[in-house]
């Protein structure tokens, strides 16, 4: 069985018609009773019975009056059988004696708890995510699962756990995806949750990580590791730049003929320039007095 629209009509017309019928039946019964007091007849008794039956039917019809708010759906069941849903906002008359369950179609968001899992490298991490979703099929949301809100919560935590174990917290290579790649991880999580919740009539609008950190027991060690990695990367960049500057300086000196350097002096100059450019402290100039007085 799939989603379908239930029969409905304007509620104001249904209410007005039912009231007119009930009033007419009451008047007919009163008039019949007054006529019976003068002399009973089988025709009057039949009219009275019919008026009572029609009035009772009109009262039962009024039980089908219902109000639907914007971004809301009413799922109708007639003695246990699904007969359709009403998702248009307004005041309607639907099939009487139906059980009407309200399903919200508004956009909702859900944030998972902070989960402690091991990433792809085996490091314990804490991770949490926020999921934005809405109901698009009221029939599936009402009957495909017991509680669609709980279903979304459980599936969201399962997707976060699966994603956390599939990628490392931090990538040490430029071509490897890590949990810190926000846009890529968010897109993959959204796709996975859409596949998990489609059977419940749920549309996942967005899923994104809101908390990501190493577990407390290894956070300090990983911080030292990250700092060391950053220092090595910075030093590597400094050395590459320094080598380029030394080569440029030697080429310019040779082109302009400022000074002629043999291999020994050239090596000494390269060594001095690298020390100056790669050092992490300010250099102190040293004047060779012996050379000045020579």
Provide the CB-side half-sphere exposure for 247 (13 A, CA): 6
Q: Which is nearest to 88 in space by CA: 63, 66, 60? A: 66
Asked whether the beta carbons of 179 and 209 are under 8 A apart, the reply is: yes
If you average pLDDT over residues 120-127, what whole number do you get?
Answer: 88
Domain ranges (residues) in the chain: 8-101, 108-214, 219-288
Q: In the predicted model, what is the mean pLDDT of residues 66-81?
A: 93
Instruction: Tell me which fold the domain 108-214 belongs to.
Output: Tetrahydropterin Synthase; Chain A (3.30.479)
DSSP structure class, residue 224: H
- The whole-number pLDDT of residue 279 equals 63
The pLDDT of residue 123 is above 90: no
Indicate the length of the chain as a whole number: 294
pLDDT tens, 142-196? 999 999 999 999 999 999 999 999 998 887 666 778 888 888 899 999 999 999 9
Cα(61)–Cα(19) distance, integer angstroms: 10
Q: Is residue 186 within 8 Å of 206, Cβ to Cβ?
A: yes
pLDDT at position 293: 46
Give the other-Cβ count within 10 Å of 257's Cβ: 7
250 is written with which tokens? 């030697």
Span 182-209, pLDDT tens digits = 888 999 999 999 999 999 999 999 999 9
Residues 215-268 pLDDT 10s: 877 666 667 666 666 666 776 777 777 777 777 777 776 776 666 666 676 677
Residue-level pLDDT at 257: 66
Return the closest-CA partner of residue 160 out of 106, 116, 221. 116
């Amino acid at each position: 069985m799939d989603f379908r629209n239930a029969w409905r009509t304007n509620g104001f017309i249904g209410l007005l018609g039912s009231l007119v019928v009930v009033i007419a039946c009451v008047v007919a019964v009163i008039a019949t009773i007054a006529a019976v007091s003068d002399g009973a007849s089988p025709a009057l008794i039949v009219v009275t019975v019919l008026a009572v039956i029609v009035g009772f039917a009109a009262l039962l019809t009024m039980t089908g009056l219902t109000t639907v708010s914007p971004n809301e759906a009413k799922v109708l069941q007639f003695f246990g059988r699904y007969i359709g849903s009403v998702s248009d906002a307004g005041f309607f008359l639907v099939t009487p004696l139906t059980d009407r369950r309200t399903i919200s179609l508004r956009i909702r968001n859900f944030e998972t708890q902070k989960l402690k899992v091991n990433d792809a490298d085996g490091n314990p991490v804490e991770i949490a995510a926020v999921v934005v979703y809405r109901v698009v099929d009221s029939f599936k949301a009402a009957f495909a699962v017991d509680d669609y809100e709980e279903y979304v919560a459980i599936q969201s935590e399962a997707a976060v756990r699966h994603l956390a174990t599939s990628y490392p917290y931090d990538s040490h290579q430029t071509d490897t995806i890590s949990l810190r790649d926000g846009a890529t991880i968010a897109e993959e999580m959204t796709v996975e949750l859409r596949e998990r919740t489609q059977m419940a009539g749920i549309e996942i609008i967005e899923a994104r990580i809101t908390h990501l950190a190493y577990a407390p027991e290894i956070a300090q060690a990983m911080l030292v590791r990250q700092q060391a990695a950053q220092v090595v990367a910075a030093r590597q960049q400094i050395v590459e730049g320094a080598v380029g500057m030394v080569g440029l300086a030697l080429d310019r000196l040779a082109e302009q003929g400022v000074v002629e350097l043999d291999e020994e002096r050239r090596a000494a100059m390269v060594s001095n320039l690298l020390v100056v450019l790669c050092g992490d402290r300010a250099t102190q100039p040293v004047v060779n007095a012996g050379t000045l007085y020579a």
